[in-house]
Amino acid sequence: MALFAVSQATFLLALLSLRTYQSEVLSEPLLLTPESLKVSINSTQQRLHLQWHVHGLTSHQELKMVFQIEISRIKTSNVIWAGKYSTVVKWDQVLHWSWESELPLECATHFVRVRSLADDARVPEPRLWSRWTSWEEVDVQNSLGHDPLFVFPQDKLVEEGSNVTICYVSRSPRNDISCYLEGVKIYGEQLDPNVSAFNLNNVPFIRKRGTNFFCKVNESGVIKGIVLFVTKVLEEPKDFSCETRDFKTLKCAWDPGTDTGLPKYSSQSYSLFESFSGKKKVCEQRNWCTWQLTQDSQETYNFTLLAENHVRRRSVSISFNLTHRVHPMTPFNVVLENISATNASMTWKVHSIGNHFTFLCQIELHGEGKVIQHNVSIETNGQYFLSELEPLTEYMTRVRCAAANHFWKWSEWIGQNFSTLEAGVFRP
């Protein structure tokens, strides 16, 4: 009886699970229609911003959907862009999408429409497209004002080598408007009786104050123009490296390349991100940045250096073990003592880095027109005995140190001059 009861319970549980799964699978094709389509503009970025929601989803329902979007210019039949946008849609969710126009939005009327398709495994075949929304019209020219002539875009920032489209808008049809780029007359394409567009390819950097473009109504002498701000191309940082001199601070340095700053736009900025700790720091300098270390800091670091200006981003990454990036500080307290005619004792001190840290120090002796090198390993204070010197001779000796176990960089040199004595004379 007990075995029968267990089997019956298992069967009921399986049946319940099956019914739950079947309730999640939709039995009929869904036609989920986009509704309340609204389109706004950002003239500075030359972008159309769309928002809409989907009618037909039940409370707490989520579906993977595809939206087909069409954008027309001047008239609805002139479709200039068509594409798809996929996302998971929730009940009562407002969806957002944006599109950047190569032509300033003030230059022509634009039209937008959207339709949708449920692209979810729970929706049975056939999966059908919904009907299109009505065309949503975007006409910026209605809000321009009453001036006889306008030129767009205003205060456009682009990189050197970019392609840019400029247009003029006249309040009445005219054929006596002339346009000039840096004083040279250029010719454009007439979009309608009131609008002409000019395609500038591979624009050069001319000056930091910008490139001048203006149009003139020959009959009335009305002149309208813009300044096109062309910045140098943001380069990927070069020679990115990090090191420590005391296990308290990391200093990261790099070659930033060309300064992309303009009078109206700031230079590129830099920030460091360390992936293991998840920490980020905005750098105050263009070519170096410090990073604080703690006693419980990790040994391995993975840094990404992000360069960013108003146009683009660039990044480079490095990964290293902290003990492999030690750049010792300059030794100090170099003393020459026990100088005789042929010998001298040299001592120096190093800045402590940590317990049992071993330095490799290099000593150079300059004299008699030649240079002699010696290497010695130390942990705290250094000492070296200089022998086989010539009497009554001027010498210069200097020392520098590096990490002995994982060589990275030598410290700076520090040195001192001394003279040997006459033979048979000793100076303590």
* Residue 65: pLDDT over 80: yes
> Where is pLDDT greater, at 15 or 146?
146
* Residue 106: pLDDT over 70: yes
pLDDT in tens, 252-295: 999 999 999 999 999 999 999 999 999 999 999 999 999 999 87
Any idea which of 112-121, 161-170, 337-346 has the lowest mean pLDDT?
112-121
pLDDT of amino acid 29? 52
Rounded alpha-carbon distances, angstroms, from residue 134 to 115, 165, 335: 10, 29, 89
Nearest 10 degrees: Cα torsion 158, 159, 161, 162: -40
pLDDT of amino acid 55? 82
Average pLDDT over residues 305-317: 97
When pLDDT is cut at 50, 70 and 90, the band that residue 128 belongs to is confident
Q: Do residues 28 and 123 make contact, with C-beta atoms less than 8 angstroms apart?
A: no
CA angle 371, 375, 377 (to 5 degrees): 160
Task: Give the domains, in start order, of the chain with CATH numbers.
Answer: 33-142 (2.60.40.10), 145-231 (2.60.40.10), 238-324 (2.60.40.10), 332-419 (2.60.40.10)
Percent of the chain scored above 90 by pLDDT? 76
When pLDDT is cut at 50, 70 and 90, the band that residue 326 belongs to is very high
What mean pLDDT, rounded, does the chain reach?
89
The contacts of residue 137 (CB under 8 Å, 6+ apart) are: 109, 110, 111
d(Cα 274, Cα 279) in Å, to the nearest integer? Answer: 6
* Residue 3: pLDDT over 80: no
d(Cα 44, Cα 30) in Å, to the nearest integer? Answer: 39
pLDDT of amino acid 220? 87
No. of H helices and E strands in the chain?
Answer: 1, 30
When pLDDT is cut at 50, 70 and 90, the band that residue 26 belongs to is very low
When pLDDT is cut at 50, 70 and 90, the band that residue 425 belongs to is low
* Residue 339: pLDDT over 70: yes
Any idea which of 92-96, 125-129, 289-293, 343-347 has the lowest mean pLDDT?
125-129
When pLDDT is cut at 50, 70 and 90, the band that residue 191 belongs to is very high
pLDDT of amino acid 227? 96
* Residue 6: pLDDT over 70: no
d(Cα 212, Cα 229) in Å, to the nearest integer? Answer: 9
When pLDDT is cut at 50, 70 and 90, the band that residue 24 belongs to is very low
- The tokens for 120 are 């979810």
The string of DSSP codes covering 320-360 is EEGGG-B-PPPPEEEEEESB-SS-EEEEEE----STTPPEE
- The tokens for 209 are 């104050």
> Other C-beta atoms within 10 Å of 58: how many?
6
pTM here? 0.77
pLDDT in tens, 353-408: 877 889 999 999 999 899 999 999 998 899 999 999 999 999 999 999 999 999 99
